[in-house]
Amino acid sequence: MNAPAAALPRPPSPGYFASHWRSLDYFNLYRLTLAVALVFSGLLFGGSDLFRAGEGERFQGYAYTYLVIAALFVLGIRARWPGFQIQLTAHIATDIVVVMLLMTTSSQLAGGMGLLLAISVASGGLVGSGRLTLLYAAMASIAVLLQHGFSILGGREVADSFFQVGLLCAGYFAIGLLAHALTQRALRSERLAQQQSDELALLNRINALAIENSPDGLLAVRGDGVVRHASPRALALLGVTTPVVPGTTRLADCAPDLARLAEQVRPGTEASLTAPAAQLRVRCIPLATPDDSRVLVLEDQTQAAQAAQRLKLAALGRLTANIAHEIRNPLSAISHAAQLLREEAHDPAGTRLAGIIENNARRLDRLVEEVLTLNRRDRLNPATFDAAALAGLVDELRQAEEIPADAVIVSMPDTLRFQFDPDHLRQIVWNLMRNAWRYSRKQPGSLHVSAQTSGDTVQIDLADDGPGLAAEHLGKLFEPFFTTDAQGTGLGLFLARELAEANRARLAYVPGTGGARFRLSLGGSD
For residue 12, pLDDT beyond 50 = no
Q: Residue 273: which H helix or E strand, with range?
A: strand 270-274
What is residue 99's predicted lDDT score, i.e. its pLDDT?
93
Lowest mean pLDDT among 167-171, 218-222, 307-311: 307-311
Measured CA to CA, the distance from residue 207 to residue 250 in angstroms comes to 24
Distances (CA, A) of 307 to 211, 311, 312: 20, 6, 9
For residue 291, pLDDT beyond 70 = yes
Q: Average pLDDT, stretch 415-438?
A: 89
Q: Residue 283: which H helix or E strand, with range?
A: strand 279-286
Three-state SS across 239-253? CCCCCCCCCCCEHHH
What is residue 482's predicted lDDT score, i.e. its pLDDT?
67
Measured CA to CA, the distance from residue 306 to residue 55 in angstroms comes to 96
* Amino acid occupying residue 220: A
- The percentage of the chain sitting over the pLDDT mark of 70, rounded to a whole number, equals 86
- Burial (CB count within 10 angstroms: exposed 0-12, middle 13-18, buried 19+), residue 491: buried
Q: In the Cβ-directed half-sphere of 55, how many Cα atoms lie within 13 Å?
A: 15
What is residue 25's predicted lDDT score, i.e. its pLDDT?
92
Q: Average pLDDT, stretch 496-520?
A: 85
What is residue 320's predicted lDDT score, i.e. its pLDDT?
61
CB atoms within 10 A of CB 209: 10
What is residue 409's predicted lDDT score, i.e. its pLDDT?
92
Phi, then psi, of 277 in degrees rounded to 5: -95, -20
Q: Name the DSSP class of 8.
A: P
Position 496 confidence tier, pLDDT thresholds 50, 70, 90:
confident
What is residue 390's predicted lDDT score, i.e. its pLDDT?
92
What is residue 29's predicted lDDT score, i.e. its pLDDT?
94
Q: Across all residues in the chain, what is the average pLDDT?
A: 83
Position 8 confidence tier, pLDDT thresholds 50, 70, 90:
very low
Measured CA to CA, the distance from residue 56 to residue 47 in angstroms comes to 6
Whole-structure pTM value: 0.44
Tell me the per-residue pLDDT of 39-75, one tens digit each, with 9 for 90 and over: 999 898 888 888 877 788 999 999 999 999 999 999 9
Question: Nearest-CA neighbor of 202 among 210, 190, 191?
Answer: 210
Q: Average pLDDT, stretch 368-378?
A: 63
Question: Nearest-CA neighbor of 490 among 352, 318, 361, 363?
Answer: 363
Position 3 confidence tier, pLDDT thresholds 50, 70, 90:
very low
What is residue 7's predicted lDDT score, i.e. its pLDDT?
44
Measured CA to CA, the distance from residue 49 to residue 395 in angstroms comes to 124
Query: In terms of DSSP H, where are the helices of 104-250?
Result: 107-127, 133-153, 162-212, 232-238
The separation between CA 326 and the C-alpha centre of its own chain, rounded to angstroms, equals 50
Measured CA to CA, the distance from residue 521 to residue 510 in angstroms comes to 12
Question: Nearest-CA neighbor of 262 among 254, 270, 485?
Answer: 270
Three-state SS across 74-134? HHHHHHCCCCHHHHHHHHHHHHHHHHHHHHCCCHHHHHHHHHHHHHHHHHHHHHCCCCCHH
- Burial (CB count within 10 angstroms: exposed 0-12, middle 13-18, buried 19+), residue 522: buried
For residue 513, pLDDT beyond 70 = no
Residue 45 CB partners (closer than 8 Å, separation 6+): 51, 56
Q: Average pLDDT, stretch 142-164?
A: 81
Measured CA to CA, the distance from residue 42 to residue 30 in angstroms comes to 18
Tell me the per-residue pLDDT of 294-351, one tens digit each, with 9 for 90 and over: 888 888 877 776 777 677 666 666 666 666 666 777 777 787 777 777 777 677 777 7
Lowest mean pLDDT among 95-104, 172-181, 258-267, 374-383: 374-383
What is residue 274's predicted lDDT score, i.e. its pLDDT?
82
For residue 2, pLDDT beyond 50 = no
Tell me the per-residue pLDDT of 447-483, one tens digit each, with 9 for 90 and over: 999 999 887 889 999 999 888 887 777 777 777 766 7
Position 495 confidence tier, pLDDT thresholds 50, 70, 90:
confident
- The percentage of the chain sitting over the pLDDT mark of 90, rounded to a whole number, equals 25
